[in-house]
Amino acid sequence: MHEEKMIVTPDGLELFHVKDLPEDPKAIIVLVHGLAEHCRRYDYVVRKLNEFGYGVYRFDNRGHGLSGGKRGYLDDFHKFIDDADLFVERAKEENSGLPVFMLGHSMGGFITAGYGSKYPGKLKGQIFSGPVIIELPIFDPLKEMDVEKAPETPIPNSLSQLICRDQQVVTDYENDPLVLKETTLKLLTTVFIDGVSWLGENLKNYSYPCLILHGGDDQIVDKASARYLYENVSSKDKGIKIYDAFFHEILNEAEKDQVLSDIQHWIDERI
């Protein structure tokens, strides 16, 4: 079953949502994408997850893809986290009795960790792909800028060559009309500075079973971010795997089936 629709948030914004369910799913995964991208970049991932027997709910973050909101803009990182909860609640309501997991990539990993810290007891577990958990050196220059004076200052999306070793993935990303060519100073500071600071103070509240995956040669989000997450959550059931030589988008590398197999094995052991 494939369904695409808009869902309205409590503050009146429309979020684009895609639901893909195999026959008799054995688990549900809520997928959260990263900065500047959109949920349809995960078509292959979703197809494989469906083959494994998992239903997938995915959506475009506000200000991204086909969702509403000012492009690349956000004034409060909690809105990203609370938006994710809308889809967890929908997944649980529409699939009563099935375990629900969350899979977040990059900024989506930040949202996933934030969700785990803010909303305990709702999920069976979480999987992270290249999560942003600590402050990134690439955003240090933002601290010198006056965000309150000019919150909509455009910041170019200039890291495409570092997302993946597969040049076709890079080319497709650069030519994708739904991939943002720029974001804003306010979004970057509220998520990657304010949000990361909040997360550091609240990770002690995180106790979900979790699988943390990261590229060993990730030049956008250093693998130290994954290790920090692993070392600072309170989870008794936690695992970490670093894939040697992989770039940032481990779910798009040539060896992506290996990553997806690792995810399948981890989930199947917990359902």
Count other Cβ atoms within 10 Å, centred on residue 137.
7
Amino acid at 271: I
pLDDT (0 to 100) of residue 143: 85
3-class DSSP state of 101: strand
Find the mean pLDDT for residues 127-149: 91
pLDDT (0 to 100) of residue 144: 84
Domain of 91, in residue numbers:
2-268
Q: CATH number of the domain that 248 lies in? A: 3.40.50.1820
Say yes or no to pLDDT of 212 above 90.
Answer: yes
Would you place residue 31 in the very low, low, confident or very high pLDDT band (cuts 50, 70, 90)? very high
pLDDT (0 to 100) of residue 44: 98
Say yes or no to pLDDT of 141 above 90.
Answer: no
pLDDT (0 to 100) of residue 81: 98
pLDDT (0 to 100) of residue 52: 98
Distances in Å between the alpha carbon of 210 and those of 84, 168, 181? 17, 31, 32
pLDDT (0 to 100) of residue 138: 86
Say yes or no to pLDDT of 142 above 90.
Answer: no
Find the mean pLDDT for residues 17-28: 98
Assess contact for 101 and 83: CB atoms under 8 A. Answer: no
User: Could you read off the pLDDT of 181-194 as tens digits, one per residue?
Assistant: 999 999 999 999 99
Number of domains in the chain: 1
Say yes or no to pLDDT of 69 above 90.
Answer: yes
For strand 125-129 and strand 210-215, is the pairing parallel, antiparallel, or unpaired? Answer: parallel
pTM of the complete model = 0.98
pLDDT (0 to 100) of residue 250: 98
Strand partners, 242: 214
User: Could you read off the pLDDT of 218-271 as tens digits, one per residue?
Assistant: 999 999 999 999 999 999 999 999 999 999 999 999 999 999 999 999 999 999
pLDDT (0 to 100) of residue 104: 98
Average pLDDT of the chain is 97
